Amino acid sequence: MAQHILALDQGTTSSRAIVFDHDGRIVSVAQQEFPQILPVPGEVEHDPEAIWSTQIQVAKDALAKADLTAREIAGIGITNQRETTILWERDSGRPVDNAIVWQSRVSAPICDQLRADGHAEMIRQKTGLILDAYFSGTKIKHLFESHEGLRQRAAQGEILFGTVDTFLAWRLSEGKYHVTDASNASRTLLYNIHSLEWDDELLEILDIPRAMLPEVVPCSGVFGETAADLFGQPIPIAGMAGDQQAAMFGQVCFEPGSAKNTYGTGCFLLLNTGDQPVLSKNQMLTTIGWQIGDQVTYCLEGSVFIGGAVVQWLRDGLGIIENSADVETLAASVEDSAGVVLVPAFVGLGAPHWDPHARGSIFGITRGTTAGHLARAAVESMAFQSCDVLDAMQKDAGLQLESLRVDGGAAGNDALMQFQADVLGVPVVRPVVAETTALGAAYAAGLAVGFWNGLDDLSANWQEDKRWEPSMEEAERDRQLRLWRKAITKSMDWVDDDVK
């Protein structure tokens, strides 16, 4: 019997592949970054061929590092940057344009028009989503408007749409499977999270042909296999989930009221609400966490667009660090931010503000401000934004969290995790296996092929690595949050409608 699961973790800035054993432990990892394409401020694109080439290469590298063949892999799970939109030709498999990344604000004018036409509340009721350029549906419409005749070709079945999971499954199977899972479908503005199907009214409003849409499958289930020539023999493709839902699954947050926060390119906080969707009154998203068989688990989600990406900006934009890992040392070179507040609204603000016209701002600079203060303010911005999200989420759910499970690259920054516990006022807990996004995809695939027998098996694998208790005095916490929220307010509505 095959003793391993291969997880493909296709992220916003890099592609990774991780091999896991039955205990949920990492056997091998391979990772490659790929270029970010930034046509104008506020717009972000990727080359779909770079997504594919890096992902298939790291998959092969991870198997080679573990000295494993396809015969020893029980199944593949896919997890992906969500909402990123790719259109490609059915016959040739060639993308028609660059992928429009979830961060991109290019379709904000389309959202403004839909809002003006009175569609926002209907969209929210059906999809659980805020009408925002973040999601896939308006990105498809933008591509139609940018390429003459493209919509007509899509209506004739010549052009296919997919989020990154769909594109990878298509390429892995050499065009045999055009599928997505319920968690990714729920992020498109096109999927009714109550009836669990593509919604005709939403398709009509956005003028999107049903013929281009993938089949929606459960997150855990064998729906196909890889082409034999990719890995030497076919491997079952048995799991799929958007990255944040996969991280929630990997954190075994199976009980209503449990929550996790992922510190990746963005920060994404999810709260399990059980088998019933909870529509937010505080600008949170209602989303499908996962579907196993006919059973659907729903979550409230708060999405922060720029989390760890602010560290990339310090590295690539300002050049004050050489490697992303250097930010922890630079931030620790000062005792505090000395009143400097950095709002990383580089592509607008996500939850709970949803302001595409906000832009990044730095406040409180003096002659004494150093690179260390900027680095500390940048790191702290991740915690402040997550605090805003959790406050709104707790109001919706009517509960107070007992603890917050954390993962993602920046969760390895101990100082940030302590600061997060301080400003939240609740303990922060990091698991032994921090790669919970890939682990969640592996779990979904492993359940489908019988590698694990059920959720209890998965819960038994979870182990605590470290816990941070709040230590900041309440008066200081209130002062810092008050300063942060003052800065947020001043960053909002910065860009005029007619200026990018």
Q: For 410-453, write each residue's pLDDT tens digit.
A: 898 999 999 999 999 999 999 998 889 999 999 999 999 999 99
Is the pLDDT at 500 greater than 80, yes or no?
Answer: no
What CA–CA distance (Å, rounded) separates 473 from 471? 6
Percent of the chain beyond pLDDT 90? 84
Lowest average pLDDT, out of 130-139, 165-174, 395-404, goes to: 395-404
Q: What angle do CA 167, 236, 222 make, to 5 degrees?
A: 85
pLDDT band at residue 393, thresholds of 50, 70 and 90? confident
Contact at 8 Å (CB) between 179 and 237? no
List the structure tokens of 142. 């933008």
CATH number at residue 236: 3.30.420.40
List the structure tokens of 344. 């990383």
Is the pLDDT at 2 greater than 90, yes or no?
Answer: no
Look at the chain and report how many structural domains it folds into. 1
pLDDT of residue 395: 85
What CA–CA distance (Å, rounded) separates 266 from 41? 18
pLDDT of residue 209: 98
Is the pLDDT at 370 greater than 70, yes or no?
Answer: yes
Is the pLDDT at 499 greater than 50, yes or no?
Answer: no
What CA–CA distance (Å, rounded) separates 442 from 436? 9
User: Looking at the domain assignment, is residue 322 inside a domain?
Assistant: no
pLDDT of residue 113: 95
Bond from prior residue into 356 cis (ω within 30 degrees of 0)? no
Mean pLDDT of 378-398: 91
pLDDT band at residue 401, thresholds of 50, 70 and 90? confident
List the structure tokens of 109. 């004018």
E strands, 97-254, are: 99-100, 159-162, 179-181, 191-192, 197-198, 215-217, 220-225, 236-242
pLDDT band at residue 301, thresholds of 50, 70 and 90? very high
User: Looking at the domain assignment, is residue 415 inside a domain?
Assistant: no
User: Looking at the domain assignment, is residue 257 inside a domain?
Assistant: no
User: Looking at the domain assignment, is residue 399 inside a domain?
Assistant: no
User: Looking at the domain assignment, is residue 60 inside a domain?
Assistant: yes
**Distances 401 to 14, 42, 269, 395, 425 between C-alpha atoms, Å:** 32, 34, 12, 11, 10
User: Looking at the domain assignment, is residue 230 inside a domain?
Assistant: yes
Structural domain harbouring 12 = 4-244
What CA–CA distance (Å, rounded) separates 237 from 80? 14
pLDDT of residue 497: 58
pLDDT per residue as tens digits for the range 74-101: 999 999 999 999 999 999 999 999 999 9
Number of Cβ within a 10 Å radius of residue 294:
7
**Distances 175 to 93, 341, 354, 447 between C-alpha atoms, Å:** 7, 49, 37, 25
Nearest to 259 by CA among 274, 275, 246, 248: 248
What CA–CA distance (Å, rounded) separates 284 from 254? 20
pLDDT of residue 371: 95
- Which residues are within 8 A (CB) of 143 and not within 5 positions of it... i.e. 6 or more apart? 85, 87, 96, 97, 100, 150
pLDDT per residue as tens digits for the range 203-221: 999 999 999 999 999 999 9
Is the pLDDT at 362 greater than 80, yes or no?
Answer: yes
Mean pLDDT of 393-402: 82
User: Looking at the domain assignment, is residue 233 inside a domain?
Assistant: yes
Mean pLDDT of 475-481: 95
Is the pLDDT at 498 greater than 50, yes or no?
Answer: no
- Which residues are within 8 A (CB) of 66 and not within 5 positions of it... i.e. 6 or more apart? 4, 19, 27, 28
pLDDT per residue as tens digits for the range 10-32: 999 899 999 999 999 999 999 99
User: Looking at the domain assignment, is residue 52 inside a domain?
Assistant: yes
Three-state SS at 76: strand
